[in-house]
Amino acid sequence: MEPTTAPAKPQFSEAAKAEIARICKQYPEERRKSALLPVLHIAQAEFGGWVSPEVQDLVAEVLGLAPIEVYEVSTFYTMFNLKPVGKHVLEICRTGPCMLRGSDELTAHLERITGAKVGGAPSEDGLFTLKEVECLAACGFAPIVQVREKYYEQLDTQEAVDAMLLELRNQVHRPALPWEENGLPNALANN
């Protein structure tokens, strides 16, 4: 039998570690669990847009929690992706006010041109995952798609949708976050 090697354990970058330390200070010492949601957001940004069981275990370790405390939270909140995703996750609002202004048509259009299916695997080129979400609190600018920290609004024309997709296709790496002052950590720029 071939000797098996365990897959490398995920590690936070130095920039992320510093950000986690800053966040933990916002809560009383004995209430570190409060940092769980913000740290899960950091983890998702660090490790390719989703939180694998290994990444969730790392979050538990960093915050001194039992792994189950992380799992029960990551499965409750809809923003955390529990399966691998494409490079860009398009979160399409499907709730009433967006539906009134054409979100059903937008979803069908995005499925056609990206080749991905809502709730399904990423597009074949690995670029796009489509996800339907509930109200994004931007109803006056419907229909809306969120990609990471950016809202694309009034996507009711072909031009607006094309402009969004072009912008995303041209992104070599995801945009750096404020705590990544010196750009993406090297390890991240590769994923």
Partner 1 sequence: MGRKLLTEHINVEGIETLEVYRKHGGYRSVEKAIKTMTPDEVVEEVKKSGLRGRGGAGFPTGMKWSFLAKPEGVPRYLVCNADESEPGTFKDRQLMSKLPHLLIEGMITSSYALGANTSYIYIRGELLYVLRILEKAIAEAYAAGYLGKNILGSGYDLDLYVHPGGGAYICGEETALLESLEGKRGNPRNKPPFPAVQGLYARPTVVNNVESIAAVPVIVNEGGEEYAKIGVGRSTGTKLISACGHLNKPGIYEIELGLPVEEFIYSDEYCGGIWKGRELKAVVAGGSSVPILPKELILKTAAGENRLMTYESLSDGGFVTGTMLGSGGFIAMDETTCIVRNTWNFSRFYHHESCGQCSPCREGTGWLEKVLHRLEYGHGRMEDIDLLVSVAKQIEGNTICPLGEAAAWPVAAAVRHFREEFEWHVTNAKDAVQPGAVFPGKAVLV
Backbone CA torsion sign across 12, 51, 34, 64: negative
Q: Is 158 in the site for partner 1 (CB under 8 A)?
A: no
The correct pick among 137, 166, 181, 190 for binding partner 1 (CB under 8 A) is: 137
User: In the complex, what is the shortest distance from the CB of residue 85 to partner 1, in angstroms, rounded to a whole number?
Assistant: 15
User: In the complex, what is the shortest distance from the CB of residue 81 to partner 1, in angstroms, rounded to a whole number?
Assistant: 11
Strand intervals (E) in the chain: 88-93, 128-133, 145-147, 150-152
Q: How does strand 88-93 pair with strand 128-133? A: parallel
The correct pick among 62, 130, 133, 164 for binding partner 1 (CB under 8 A) is: 133
146: nearest Cα among 49, 15, 64, 57: 49
User: In the complex, what is the shortest distance from the CB of residue 126 to partner 1, in angstroms, rounded to a whole number?
Assistant: 24
Region from 7-15, 90-98, 111-119, 183-191 binding partner 1, contact rule CB under 8 A: 90-98
Q: Which of residues 2-31 bind partner 1 (CB under 8 A)?
A: 26, 28, 31
CA 176/CA 62 separation, integer angstroms: 23
Q: What is the side-by-side order of every strand in the sheet holding 145-147?
A: 128-133, 88-93, 145-147, 150-152
CA distances from 76 to 80, 132, 147 (A): 9, 16, 20
Q: Is 141 in the site for partner 1 (CB under 8 A)?
A: yes
Q: Is 79 in the site for partner 1 (CB under 8 A)?
A: yes
CA 59/CA 71 separation, integer angstroms: 10
Q: Is 34 in the site for partner 1 (CB under 8 A)?
A: yes
Binding site for partner 1 (CB under 8 A): 26, 28, 31, 33-38, 40-41, 69, 72-73, 76-80, 91, 94-97, 99-101, 133-142, 146, 149-151, 178
